[in-house]
Amino acid sequence: PIWVMRQAGRYLPEYQEVRSRMSFNELCRTPEAACEVTLQPIRRFGFDAAIMFSDILTPLAPMGADFDFSQGGPKLQKPIRSEDEIDALHTYAPEEGTDFVAAAIKLMKEGLGDKTPLIGFAGSPFTLATYLIEGGGSKDFHHLKTMLYSRPELLDRLMAKLTDQTLDYLKMQVEAGVDAVQLFDTWGGILHPADYARVVLPCVKRIMDGLKGSVPRIYFLKGSAPYLDLVTTLDVEALGMDWTMDMAKSLPLMEGYAVQGNLDPQALFGSHDEIRRRALEICTAGKAAPGHVFNLGHGITPPTPIDAVETLVETVQGFRR
């Protein structure tokens, strides 16, 4: 099967059309519109799974951290850096604060029918912490690392809060009907492995253990290659892989896990022969895993040509047949 991260998004003209009528935040908070853009890539390409349309930062607004997306990247007016600011973030009941997500999931399930499963998701506590502390995207994660190296107990306090909230949020998605969940850890890979093991991994473990026995759990850690020995201590059904890993070489180190990945999203700007060749190489290597879900190694980017995605989907679904 194949789906791609950020498959509902700006590279699709039909998404642009919906976005021309409302802001990104409005889109995430309007169940009918979120449902519509979730279904768009399924209709157009026949992906084998849908991912609910939302953002990893959406569930932070009811905590008191409402990101603005109108300037391009996400921006938080007042970053969260002091003990008081961390304590002022409030945890909430997800069926109250993010009731629109549960409502959207129900509409999406109806729209998808029995054929196409729906993936729910959340950001990992660490990746969420980077956006909260930096107040947006970052190159060097200066403020987060200053906290890590000067007041690690503060970071732990923030992480604990985010972990509780994220587990509740994912449980709500499962209740509402998602068929699998993915935890996005886009920035977990910026730490020394010992810091990853101490700060990040226990929080991921607590969330995943809390969801055990409900739906399949996928952990996507971008840049996970140096942490493979740590990540493979997790009790999850599937691990995401980015394109810096050679699937054939890595799978023996990931025994027992289904895997998801791992074509470089930039490969979609290459020739169609090259897209086919690389996709087939990944499909062939993936047969060594107990399950392989084809994906990109990270989100698809806005300028991606539609016909490159068509070639990719045809190639992967053709391999399956």
Q: Which of 15, 131, 169, 227 is catalytic?
A: 131
Residue 81 appears among annotated catalytic residues? no
Q: Which of 29, 48, 55, 169 is catalytic?
A: 55
5 near ligand CP3, rule: CB under 6 A: yes
Of 17 and 274, nearer to ligand CP3 (C-beta) is 17
35 near ligand CP3, rule: CB under 6 A: no
Q: Is cis: bond before 295, omega within 30 of 0?
A: no
By C-alpha distance, which of 311, 262, 265 is closest to 286?
262
Which residue, chain included where needed, has tokens 């000067």?
150
How crowded is residue 266: how many other Cβ atoms within 10 Å of its Cβ?
A: 13
74 near ligand CP3, rule: CB under 6 A: yes
Cβ(129)–Cβ(162) under 8 Å? yes
* SS3 category, 182: strand
Of 50 and 289, nearer to ligand CP3 (C-beta) is 50
51 near ligand CP3, rule: CB under 6 A: yes
| Cβ-based neighbours of 14, under 8 Å, separated by 6 or more | 37, 40, 44
Site for ligand CP3 in 9-28 (CB under 6 A): 9-10, 19, 24
Residue 55 appears among annotated catalytic residues? yes
Q: Least distance in Å: CB of 73 to ligand CP3?
A: 5
By C-alpha distance, which of 14, 153, 162 is closest to 91?
162
69 near ligand CP3, rule: CB under 6 A: yes
Of 19 and 44, nearer to ligand CP3 (C-beta) is 19
Residue 131 appears among annotated catalytic residues? yes
| Binding window for ligand CP3 (CB under 6 A); candidates: 52-60, 84-92, 107-115, 142-150 | 52-60
Cβ(299)–Cβ(265) under 8 Å? yes
Of 39 and 316, nearer to ligand CP3 (C-beta) is 39
Cβ(263)–Cβ(278) under 8 Å? yes
By C-alpha distance, which of 179, 177, 159 is closest to 107?
177
Of 186 and 304, nearer to ligand CP3 (C-beta) is 186
DSSP 73-106: S-B-SS---SHHHHHHS----HHHHTHHHHHHHH
145 near ligand CP3, rule: CB under 6 A: no
286 near ligand CP3, rule: CB under 6 A: no
Binding test (CB under 6 A) with ligand CP3, winner from 12, 33, 56, 275: 56
Separation of CA 310 from chain center: 22
Backbone angles phi, psi at 92, to 5 degrees: -145, 165
Cβ(222)–Cβ(203) under 8 Å? no
Residue 278 appears among annotated catalytic residues? no
100 near ligand CP3, rule: CB under 6 A: no
The Cα diameter of the chain in Å comes to: 57
**DSSP letter, residue 300:** P
44 near ligand CP3, rule: CB under 6 A: no
Site for ligand CP3 in 254-273 (CB under 6 A): none
109 near ligand CP3, rule: CB under 6 A: no
Judged by CB under 6 A, the number of residues near ligand CP3 is 21
Binding test (CB under 6 A) with ligand CP3, winner from 2, 42, 57, 112: 57
48 near ligand CP3, rule: CB under 6 A: no
Binding test (CB under 6 A) with ligand CP3, winner from 2, 8, 101, 245: 8
By C-alpha distance, which of 58, 176, 195 is closest to 118?
176
Please give the positions annotated as active site: 6, 10, 19, 55, 131
Enumerate binding residues for ligand CP3 (CB under 6 A): 5-10, 19, 24, 51, 53, 55-57, 69, 73-74, 121, 137, 184, 186, 299
